């Protein structure tokens, strides 16, 4: 019973902390990234301009959180907001899986 309570408590704490358990498809993310992200962030996640961040190796949960914030309007940027607006949750999970896998 103690073990079950510990597992439940851990699950609640993770949920409250904003942790994201993503199951994105990196191959699908690579395809999407090549058409949507690569012109600024590079095909391999290395930006060709110092004002745009590198995404290669970035943590998946962080990428998901930021892309959803741009898409949903809780974070705004004149370039990123319109790029993120048409992305579905699956697109975001996949792109995040791709860049974090590099």
Distance of CA 7 to the CA centre of its chain: 26
Q: Which pLDDT score is estimated for 17?
A: 46
Q: Where are the domains of the chain?
A: 22-101
The superfamily in CATH containing domain 22-101 is Cytochrome c-like domain (1.10.760.10)
pLDDT in tens, 15-51: 544 444 558 999 999 999 999 999 999 989 999 999 9
Q: Residue 18: what pLDDT? A: 46
pLDDT digits (tens, 9 = 90+) for 47-96: 999 999 999 999 999 999 999 999 999 999 999 999 999 999 999 999 99
Give the pLDDT mean for 1-13. Answer: 55
C-beta of residue 102 within 8 angstroms of C-beta of residue 27: no
The pLDDT of residue 55 is 97
Burial class (CB in 10 A: 0-12, 13-18, 19+), 10: exposed
């Amino acid at each position: 019973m103690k073990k079950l309570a510990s597992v439940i408590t851990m699950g609640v704490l993770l949920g409250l902390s904003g942790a994201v358990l993503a199951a994105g498809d990196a191959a699908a993310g690579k395809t999407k990234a090549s058409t949507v992200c690569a012109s600024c962030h590079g095909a391999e996640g290395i930006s060709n301009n110092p004002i745009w961040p590198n995404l290669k190796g970035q943590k998946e949960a962080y990428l998901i959180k930021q892309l959803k914030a741009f898409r949903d309007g809780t974070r705004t940027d004149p370039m990123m907001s319109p790029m993120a607006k048409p992305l579905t949750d699956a697109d975001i999970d996949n792109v995040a899986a791709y860049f974090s896998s590099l």
